[in-house]
Structure 1
C-alpha cells in the first residue's frame, strides 16, 4: 500500500504489539511516519504496550514524547497505557505524575497505579490509594491481598479478605486461593478451616485450583491427613496438585507415604508414565530420604532426576543429599556434595535460600549437621563467601543470633566485606510461589485487562 489510513495502520500496530515480535510495532510506526502518517489516540496504547514487552524504557519515553507532540496526552486510554508503562518499570514517581495530571480516571487507572506501588514494595502508599476509592472491584481487592502475601504479611491479607466479605464484594478463584494461601503462610489452621467451611456452605465449586491451595494449607498446618482426604477425592490431578501432596507428606507428614505417592504419580499399573515430575517434586522426595536416612533410595532418585528426567540439580537438591549423607554418618561425603556448588544470588529462591530448606527438612540433628558441613567447607576454602552465607543462614534458622554476629565479624576480620542477609523463607512458600501462584497470577492479569 502506498498510503496507510489511520484504521489500517493502527490495526497493524496492534497486531505487531500482540505478536511475539513487538519491536516490529515500533519499526512499522516510525517507517509510516516517514511516509506522512499522522497517528491518533488509538496508535499509542499498543505502541506503549510493545515497549513494555520489549523491556525498553527509552523507547517508551520516546513514545511518550510523541503522545505529547500529537496532542493526545489527555486521552484516558493513552494515559492509562502510560501509567501502566512506568509502573511496569518501577518508575512510580513518573507514573504518579501522569496519574495526578489526569482529569478523568477509571477503574483501570486505579488498578494499574495501585498494582504498580504494590510491586514496587510500597504497600502503604498502595493501601492509602485503595482506601480512598469509593468503588472497588474484585481485581483491586486481589491486588492488595496478593501484595501483602508477597511482602510477607499474610495477616493483613486475611484482614482485607474478611473486610471484602463484609462489604459484599463477590470474590473469584483468585480471591479464595489468596485467602487460603494467607492462612497457609501464617499457619492459621482455624482460619483456614473457616474459609474451607465457608466455601462448603456457599456451595462454591471447589476447582482443582482451589483444592490444591487447600492441600498446601492443611499440609503446612500439620494436618496432612485432611490434605490427603481432599487429594483422594480429586478426579483430576495435575503436577502442581501431585507436588502439593507429595511435599505435604515428605516434609510435614509421613515421608514414606510421600515416596509412595511419587511412585504412584510417575507410573500407572501398566508401567506407563502418568505425570512427569519436576525439580520441586524431587526436592520433596529427597527431603523424605534425608528424614528417613534412606541412602540407597536417595542416590537412586538423585540419579533418576538427572539421567531420566533431565532435571539439573539446584542447591536445594544438593543440600538434601548432603543432609542425607550426614544423617547416615558420611559427613565427608556431605561436604563433597556441596563443595563445588556455585550459589547465584539472582537465581530462584530454592537455589540460594538454603536456610528455608534447612528449616523445612526437619530431620534430627539438622542444626548440628548444617553447622558441621558449613564449618568444614569454610576450613577448606576460608575466602569463599557462599560458605559463610550457608553458616549464617543455618544459625539464623535456629535463632542463634549471637553466632550469626560472630560469623559476620569473622568475615570482616578476613576481609570478606559482603555481608549475607538473613531473610528466611520456608521451602513450601518457595514451592508455592514458583508453582502454584503462577497459575492464578496469569488469570488475575487477564481479569485486570477486562475491567
Structure 2
C-alpha cells in the first residue's frame, strides 16, 4: 500500500505544470506524511518545484516543514534566495544551516557568491570565499567562475584577475566574466586584449565587449566589432541587434542602421517590441521621424517605452508639434480603449514622457502649454519633477523672455529633485534640453547660490547638473575639485560620480 502511494506521489511530481498542481501535490504529501519522512525522492523534488512556481517566502516555509533536509534541499533554497529580491538572505540562511550541522558542497557556493554579487556585498562575499577555501572546493571550475563574477561585479578587478589567473582550467564563462569585469571598470583596452585572447567565444562575450564600447561613448568601435562578428558567420541575438541599432543611433549612422533593419526584415516576420522601439529611436536620432512613425504604427500592443520613443523622436529630433499631437493622441487612446473599470491597466505617461513634452514646448515657445504640462505632471499623474524638467522649464521661460522667472525656477529647484540613476536614456534627454543656448544663466545662478551658502551640497549639485547638460566635463571636474578642497561631503544616496555616469554620453548628442 505504502509503495503504491509513493509511486502515485512521484507521478504527481513529474506531472506538475502549474501552481494549482503544486498545491494539490503538497496536500497529498502532507496527508500521506511523505513530506516528513527522510526520503529525498519526495521532499527534494517538491522543494525544487516550489522554487520554480512560488515566491521565496513560500519556498522557505515548505523547507521548514521538511524534518530531515539534505544538502540538495538546502542548496535549492539558497539558489531560490539568490534569484529573489532578497538575495542577502541566502547568506543568512546558509549560516543558519551551518549551525544545524549542514555540510556544504561545491553546488552551494555558486548561488551564494551570485547573491553577494547581486547587491555588491563585498564583506559577505569575502566571508563566503573563506567558506569556499575552508570546505576545500576552491579548485572547482563553477565555484571559481562564481568568484570571478563576484569580484568583477564589485569592481575588485584585481582580485577577480587573481582568481582567474589561478585557475587550472577555464571555460567560456570564465573568460566572459573577466572580460565583463574589465568592461565594468572602464578598462576597455585590457578587456579587448582578453577578448582577443579567448580560445572560444560565444554571443555573450561579443555582446559584453560591444556593450562596453557603446557605454564608453564609442559607438564606432562597437559597430566595427559587430561587423567582425557578422563576417565570422554569427547572426547574433536580440541583445546583439539592440546594441548594434543603438550604436547606429548614437553615431547617426542611418545607412548602417538601415542595413541592420533590412537583415531583420529578412530573418523575422515580426519584430519584437524592444527591437521595434530601438529602431524608432535610431531613425528619430538620424532625423527620419517619418520612418520611425511607420514602425511605431505597426506595433499592435504598445508600452510606455514605445510611446516615449516616438513622442521624444518628434519632440527632440523632429517636429515638436507632431510630438505634442502624438502625446495628445496617447492620452486620448487610453480613454477610448479602456473602460472606467480597467483604470489600473492603463499605460500612463512617466517622467521621460514629460521631458520630451517640455522640450517640445521650449523649442516652440509654447509657454501656456508648457505650464499646463508641468503642472499636470504632479497634479494629474503624481510624477515628481526632476532637475531635467526644471531645466526644460527654465529654458522655456528664458526663450520667451521671462528671464527673472527662469532665474527663480532654477534657484528654487527642490534639493531632492535628483536625476534617476538607472537609465542611460536620461543622459540623452538632458543633453537634448540645451536648445542651442549657452548655460551662462544657470551657471550664474548656481555660483551666486554657492557664494551665499558655500557649505550647501545641493547648490554644487545644481552647478554640476548645469555643466553636465552642456557637456562641459572639465567644468564638472573642476567643480568636484572645488568641493573637495572646501570639504563639502556628498549627501547620502547622491554621488557626483554616479551623476557623471548618468549623463556621460550626452556630449555626443
Please give the range of the TM-score, normalised by the shorter of the 2 chains.
0.7 to 0.9
Q: Is the 8 A contact 1:315 1:343 kept in 2?
A: no
For residues 32 and 251 of structure 1, do their structure 2 counterparts lie closer, same or farther at Cα, with a shift above 3 Å needed?
closer
Could you list the per-position Cα deviations for residues 300-337 of structure 1 after superposition, in whole angstroms to 9, with x for gaps in the alignment? 10111111111110011001111111111111011111
Structure 1 distance, partners of 2:376, 2:75, is 52
1:301 equivalenced with 2:373 (yes/no): yes
Alpha-carbon shift at residue 392 of structure 1 (Å): 4.6
1:314 equivalenced with 2:404 (yes/no): no
Q: Is the 8 A contact 1:4 1:37 kept in 2?
A: no
Partner of residue 374, structure 1: 443
SS at match of 1:308: helix
Gaps (5+ residues) in structure 1? 431-451
Alignment map for 1:260-271 (pairs within 5 Å): 260-268=325-333, 270=336
Please point out which of 340, 348, 360 is paired with 1:288.
360
For residues 428 and 301 of structure 1, do their structure 2 counterparts lie closer, same or farther at Cα, with a shift above 3 Å needed?
farther
Please point out which of 259, 262, 268 is paired with 1:194.
259
Alpha-carbon shift at residue 201 of structure 1 (Å): 3.7
Q: Pairwise CA RMSD of aligned residues?
A: 3.4
Partner of residue 184, structure 1: 249
Structure 1 distance, partners of 2:277, 2:427, is 25
Could you list the per-position Cα deviations for residues 396-441 of structure 1 after superposition, in whole angstroms to 9, with x for gaps in the alignment? 56x9x9xx69x969x97xx8798x99996566999xxxxxxxxxxx
For residues 233 and 149 of structure 1, do their structure 2 counterparts lie closer, same or farther at Cα, with a shift above 3 Å needed?
same
TM-score, normalisation: structure 2:
0.73
Partner of residue 326, structure 1: 398
Partner of residue 48, structure 1: 113
Partner of residue 440, structure 1: none
Alpha-carbon shift at residue 292 of structure 1 (Å): 0.8
Partner of residue 410, structure 2: 338
Could you list the per-position Cα deviations for residues 68-106 of structure 1 after superposition, in whole angstroms to 9, with x for gaps in the alignment? 121111111111111111111011111111111111221
SS at match of 2:381: coil
1:236 equivalenced with 2:307 (yes/no): no
Structure 2 distance, partners of 1:318, 1:351, is 18
Could you list the per-position Cα deviations for residues 163-196 of structure 1 after superposition, in whole angstroms to 9, with x for gaps in the alignment? 0100001211111111110111111122212222
Of 147-156 and 388-397, the range deviating more from structure 2: 388-397
Partner of residue 60, structure 2: none
Partner of residue 436, structure 1: none
SS at match of 1:366: coil
Structure 1 distance, partners of 2:401, 2:197, is 61
TM-score, normalisation: structure 1:
0.82
SS at match of 2:102: coil
Gaps (5+ residues) in structure 2? 1-65, 489-495
Structure 2 distance, partners of 1:379, 1:131, is 52
Partner of residue 165, structure 2: 100
For residues 362 and 253 of structure 1, do their structure 2 counterparts lie closer, same or farther at Cα, with a shift above 3 Å needed?
farther
Structure ID, larger Rg: 2
1:218 equivalenced with 2:290 (yes/no): no
Q: Is the 8 A contact 1:344 1:352 kept in 2?
A: no
